[in-house]
Structure 1
Amino acid sequence: MTDCCDAGNLFSVTKANTPVGKKLWFDGEFFYSLTIDNATYSIFPQDTPLKHPMKKCSVVGNSGILRNSGCGRHVDQADFVIRCNLPPLTSEYTKDVGSKTQLVTVNPSIIEKRYQNLLWARRAFVDSLHVYRDSFLYMPAFSMMHGTDPSLRVYYTLMDFRANQSVLFANPSFLRNVGKFWRNKGVHSRRLSTGLFMVSAALGLCEEVTIYGFWPFHVDLKGKSISHHYYDDILPLSGFHSMPEEFLQLWVLHKAGVLKVQLDQCA
């Protein structure tokens, strides 16, 4: 798993791996590509800013199993903390999910639904990011055509407001490699979840990986009903992800000692 997808070199788009003139094939729309021009090239970092291998990493999903888990302190003890899709980190939740963040993913649909595609809600967006301090925002700008413009707007908004956060664009080659790897393991879905992409990245970037909030079921280990997310009970669109299949693969890795899946309450 650690060698499957070359996360060290391909996790994000950089000047080193995506030169001017390269045709960047989108991983979510297989017949669409973007030829990198000077303007686009100029916004890429020279190399990945993630210094790897990192020692201890936490990947935090958003499952309702995190509620009342008391795992926040354990999450924050990691050297690098990854979160998914701008989850709330208010004081109501930090005891269970922690407050530390080095990288948080942002689905372009969030920019559309919460922030009107940043056409007139830019200040509100920047203010909402304060809780993530100086983290990287990881965005799949080159996965689907409709995600490119919102992702670029995030980049330029953060630049214009001189925000503490910065954007990393997911490299479609990395996402494609991860998707192929898990399909070969038996995960069949229209698209992998953000969480599985991030766990896959962590396994390539970190020496020790613990994952929290990865539990796709409606009851906990004791049979008690739990909400879908730790912060709400809104269900995802059906038929898009195969969360139980993904969890099974993560559990196999847990049993093999490749990573740790935290499901119980933290001591």
Structure 2
Amino acid sequence: MPDNHTSLTFRLPDGRKLGYARYGSVNGDPFFYFHGMPGSRYEAQLLEASARALGLCICAIDRPGYGLSDYVADRSIINWPNDVAALADALDIETFGIIAVSGGGPYALACAHEIPGRISTTGIVCGLGPVHVATLRNEMHWLARSGFFLARKSPTLLRNLYGRPLKWLSCLRPDITFRLLARCHGEADRQVLSRKDIRDLLSGSLRESFRQGPFASTRDVVLYQRPWGFELENIHKQIHLWHGDADRIVPCQHSQFIHSKLPDSILTVVPDEGHFSLPIVHTRAILAALKKD
């Protein structure tokens, strides 16, 4: 999988390394892609064909500790826009769009809050809401709820009980990983995950996400269940939200909550689509809507 477009690195002003990949049309309209949790820059390969057809250049960034990006033990969600802006400066990109999926959603919202003047459009697909709000947390699968509980009580225990086994499964037995995923998902997601090309792509992204161990994913879970460092009501950029009403991983109530708090947002609820099927099946339509915006 690695080549000269998918294993790129950049040195941030503080000396840290940031990993990223480029997909789509090299000279197209620039978009930054924020992966889910766990995930990596390879995840954006799902957008390659649609981005190329629409004339978009997708720059997918590894968050600290994922893939090629250096781990930062004390990072926060609100710090992320600084890394994004620094990479944009290095690539000579003045303004850019953002497309985020699942656990990348909070980081997209942080950018809309912190660097609104750099952003042309923002799209969040099946985005995670602020799970420090109990009503949102309680809508989630019991495995997710217990992960957030451990994140509050003992991040070390979370890493040992969740992070390390998931790393082992993702790297050594992806077949078991996808069988377990299928049990948690509805029919639309099971159909998508039954495709070998999709399983192979997602397996590669999962392996890359754990290149440095489970520390980054554990840190994300800890950060998700804390206050994010900004208020949704103070985001004045327009945000496009998409969510499937059959999503069993991050229920649609998360996007509905975010939509209710944002001063300017458009929520599209897609019937019968799940957590994987929505961003995979509707990639072209979502990117086209953001390009038009």
Please, what TM-score do these two structures have when normalized by structure 1? 0.28
By relative contact order (CA 8 Å, sep 6+), the higher-ranking structure is 1
Please, what TM-score do these two structures have when normalized by structure 2? 0.26
Structure with more of its chain in helix, by fraction: 2
